[in-house]
Amino acid sequence: MAKLIIEAGQARKHYWRDLWRYRELFYFLAWRDLLVRYRQTAIGLTWALLRPLLTMIVLTVIFGRVAKLTVPGVPQPILVLAAMLPWQFFSNSLSDSSNSLVANANLISKIYFPRLVVPASSVMVSMVEFIISFAIMVVLLFIYHYPITWHFIALPPLVVLSFLAALGPGLLITALNVKYRDFRYIIPFIVQFGLYVSPVGFSSSRVPEEWRLLYSLNPIVGVIDGFRWAICAKEPMYWPGFVVSLIVIGLMLFYGINYFRRVERKFADII
Amino acid sequence: MSDTVITVDHLCKSYWLKHQLQAGRKQSVQSEHFSEVLTRFISTPFRRRDSAEKAASREEFWALKDVSFEVKRGDVLGIIGRNGAGKSTLLKVLSRITEPTSGRIEIDGRVASLLEVGTGFHPELTGRENIFLNGAILGMSRVEIKRKFDEIVAFAEVEKFLDTPVKRYSSGMYVRLAFSVAAHLEPEILIVDEVLAVGDAQFQKKCLGKMQDVSRNDGRTIIFVSHNLQVVQSLCTKGVLLAGGTIKVLGPTSEVVAEYLKSLQSGFKIGLEHRRDRQGAGDIQFTEIEMLDQFGQRIENAISGQRVTLRLHYRTKADHPYRNCRVSVSAHANGVVYFLLSTELVRSDELVLQGRGHLDCIIPELPLSRGEYYLNPFVESNKVVQDLVEGAWPLSVVDGDFYGHGRNYPPGWEGIGVLVRHDWKW
């Protein structure tokens, strides 16, 4: 094994290799969060089904029946759920990863490991919940006899995309949270607000054409559009918007990781 | 391959303490609040704070200053020093938790650090789950944990409670399980902070035995911080004495421990009169304790079996005599009382204390084996406790000839029992 050298301000040369070496810790932390999430609850993982189901019903009624924001040929529950699954995955990931460092302060101050493991593993719980709640979608497609198209193959990369979309701001906020706990109060606000400004209850084709590109600056818009395209397969993909969202996601991820790496060496001193 | 596994070169670590002058009281705060940053930014957005202003509100504190040493393969290095000497900071830097301010460390080998017992234990998880989680956190692979699982469970003696959440464990069980996982780590270099201070004595011994085995048989390197000098002495091959962030002594354990004791003693000598951590009404206070040998000479260390006089200096606040006094002094080590020497046990006449003076307590044959003890002096007058200082004075005992034939307690028994004059017949 190569000599380990500890110096002030040294840029970690083998950052990503180091991260790979700690993949088991990543796995165990994710496993812990998952085990703990539904400990001492009566219905356990059923919550992962119940919460999206109830939210879906409410949103279906509000946006479909009351606001009449429908898309012809697509049953409203499918339209809503196709957006709600990625939205919930995104918002849960964002809040979990943002709080992850502070929640694991005892680990940070007592053990060395690449700190990136913590926010990344905290997202895994939402990932599992996402997969479980996807069962609702399968059931809905079956009930409505909705056709499944080849667009479905886009789903796995889209899931990865929403993971990355959450990780970028998540890393930034969790790092800031170490020093300024103010950010833990900002997150619930972003999440609540985001539900209404993102095309969860309605299709983004409802947004006036001239505003649509600007609207796609919200990175989750591209992800949701992608999900709708893959599952509902009724409206054409708005590619310029998708590319804008991709760029925003990429930039945020880049900035998030860079900021995180810059400050992570000081975490143990100030957490 | 070189035999040096750790090289520490001119290592420094500083922290910034921020001082706020509030109502005339100096207060250190750890970090700036976001609101402060924000208000500062809003009030003076384009002005950088000049360095003088910055320096006034912040103070640099050097937790480690120019520390250099080397550790060879198979060494067990004990780090001792008083609270705040920089021991824990050194371990944190060595285990990469925090970054040095300057200097360089080279480490050759897989490092595991154990700065706390049960880091990452989750109360909601069962014993079994926590073994895996904690093992992974400490750097074991899943395969490794699986292989050692039974051993860990047996060592911790928690077989029956494996599937109970650890929040329902007794504190003893919790500590045992946590220890057990740590004890089965197999890194090439193990860094251990004062973790042996918890847990019951029997289990502590088991852990120490395990650590000893590991270092002796497998040639593993251990860096170890402890306040328990006996443990340091029996376990470590080399020692470092830290004081104020710098290395005071570096060398064989016995030398380092002796130096540490000396520094403690000189500290205590000045200390007793001015110590604040005392109990009692305070009308009578101890000012100094002296230890004299059979010739009335002041000594630093006592010898087992030696005739020793403990001279307790006192001072009364008021000038009138304090009647019906009782004075005692007890010897402690590791939380155990070894003996109590009390005036009312051997004298029945009244003791009156007045002004300044001293009392002598004569021990014809000091019945303590080699080790570090502490003396707690106590005085009461008319059943009112006047003064009690815990750990007022260190009593350091070296091997002597208590039994008159040059043989002493066997290894491992030093400092853990009193010597009793006895005989065997057959």
User: Listing from the earlier edge strand, what are the strands of the sheet with B308-316?
Assistant: B284-292, B308-316, B356-363
With an 8 Å Cβ cutoff, is A105 touching chain B?
Answer: no
Q: Are B90 and B69 contained in the same domain?
A: yes
Q: Which two tokens stand for residue A177?
A: 């949270």
Q: Which two tokens stand for residue A32?
A: 């812990």
- Residue B114: CATH number of its domain: 3.40.50.300
**Residue B59: its pLDDT value, please?**
74
b/e sequence B97-109, b meaning 16+ C-beta within 10 Å? bbbbbebbbbbbe
pLDDT in tens, B302-350: 888 889 999 999 999 888 899 899 999 999 876 678 899 999 899 989 9
β partners of residue B378 = B328, B388
Q: Are B97 and B193 contained in the same domain?
A: yes
pLDDT band at A199 (very low <50, low <70, confident <90, very high): confident
Smallest Cβ distance to A8: which of B15, B99, B132?
A: B99
Residues belonging to chain B with any Cβ–Cβ distance to chain A shorter than 8 Å:
15, 30-35, 37, 92-111, 113, 115-116, 119-120, 122, 124-125, 129, 132-133, 136-138, 141-142, 165
pLDDT in tens, B84-142: 788 888 998 988 888 888 888 998 888 888 888 778 888 888 999 999 998 888 888 88
Top mean-pLDDT range of A34-38, B146-150, B217-221, B373-377: B146-150
Percent over 70 (pLDDT), chain B: 83
In this structure, is residue B259 part of a structural domain?
Answer: yes
Q: 3-class DSSP state for residue B415?
A: coil
Q: Are B259 and B305 contained in the same domain?
A: no
Smallest Cβ distance to B136: which of A24, A35, A36?
A: A24
pLDDT at A223 over 80: yes
Mean pLDDT, residues A143-158: 89
Smallest Cβ distance to B137: which of A25, A31, A268?
A: A25
pLDDT at B156 over 90: no
Q: Which two tokens stand for residue A180?
A: 């300024």
Which chain A residues are closer than 8 Å to B100 by Cβ? 6-8
**Residue B308: its pLDDT value, please?**
92
B34/A5 touch (CB, cutoff 8 Å), yes or no: no
In this structure, is residue B318 part of a structural domain?
Answer: yes
**Residue A168: its pLDDT value, please?**
92
Q: Which of A104, A112, A125, A261 to mutate to test the interface with B (most CBs of B within 10 A)?
A: A112
What is the number of domains present in chain B?
A: 2
d(CA B426, CA B424): 7
Q: Are B71 and B208 contained in the same domain?
A: yes
A6/B133 touch (CB, cutoff 8 Å), yes or no: no
Q: 3-class DSSP state for residue A235?
A: coil
Percent over 90 (pLDDT), chain B: 14
- Residue B315: CATH number of its domain: 2.70.50.60
pLDDT at B425 over 50: yes
**Residue B30: its pLDDT value, please?**
46
A6/B105 touch (CB, cutoff 8 Å), yes or no: yes
| Residue B168: DSSP 8-state | G
In this structure, is residue B111 part of a structural domain?
Answer: yes
pLDDT in tens, A38-51: 887 888 788 888 88
C-alpha closest to that of B7 among B117, B121, B103: B103
pLDDT at B363 over 90: yes
Q: Are B253 and B154 contained in the same domain?
A: yes
**B25: closest CA of chain A, how far (Å):** 23
pLDDT at A57 over 60: yes
**Residue B201: its pLDDT value, please?**
62
pLDDT at A84 over 70: yes
In this structure, is residue B57 part of a structural domain?
Answer: no
**In chain A, residues 16-55 whose CB comes closer than 8 Å to chain B:** 24-25, 27-28, 31-32, 35-36, 39-40
Which chain B residues are closer than 8 Å to A35 by Cβ? 124-125, 129
Q: Are B252 and B321 contained in the same domain?
A: no
In this structure, is residue B55 part of a structural domain?
Answer: no
pLDDT band at B199 (very low <50, low <70, confident <90, very high): low
B15/A109 touch (CB, cutoff 8 Å), yes or no: no
pLDDT band at A158 (very low <50, low <70, confident <90, very high): very high
Mean pLDDT, residues B4-22: 78
Q: Are B82 and B179 contained in the same domain?
A: yes
**Residue B409: its pLDDT value, please?**
80
Which chain B residues are closer than 8 Å to A178 by Cβ? none
Q: Are B137 and B254 contained in the same domain?
A: yes
pLDDT in tens, B200-241: 666 767 777 777 777 777 778 888 887 667 677 777 889 999
**Residue B63: its pLDDT value, please?**
87
Q: Are B232 and B87 contained in the same domain?
A: yes
In this structure, is residue B411 part of a structural domain?
Answer: no
Residue that is last in its domain, among B263, B287, B307: B263
In this structure, is residue B238 part of a structural domain?
Answer: yes
Q: Which of B4, B5, B96 to mutate to test the interface with A (most CBs of A within 10 A)?
A: B96
Q: CB contacts < 8 Å between A and B, how many?
A: 104
Residue B340 belongs to domain spanning: 272-398
**Residue for token pair 């009281």:** B25
Q: Are B107 and B184 contained in the same domain?
A: yes
Percent over 90 (pLDDT), chain A: 25
Mean pLDDT, residues B407-419: 78
**Residue B265: its pLDDT value, please?**
59
Q: Are B231 and B107 contained in the same domain?
A: yes
d(CA A53, CA B138): 40
**B173: closest CA of chain A, how far (Å):** 21
In this structure, is residue B27 part of a structural domain?
Answer: no
pLDDT at B53 over 60: no
pLDDT in tens, B64-75: 888 999 998 888
d(CA A42, CA A55): 21
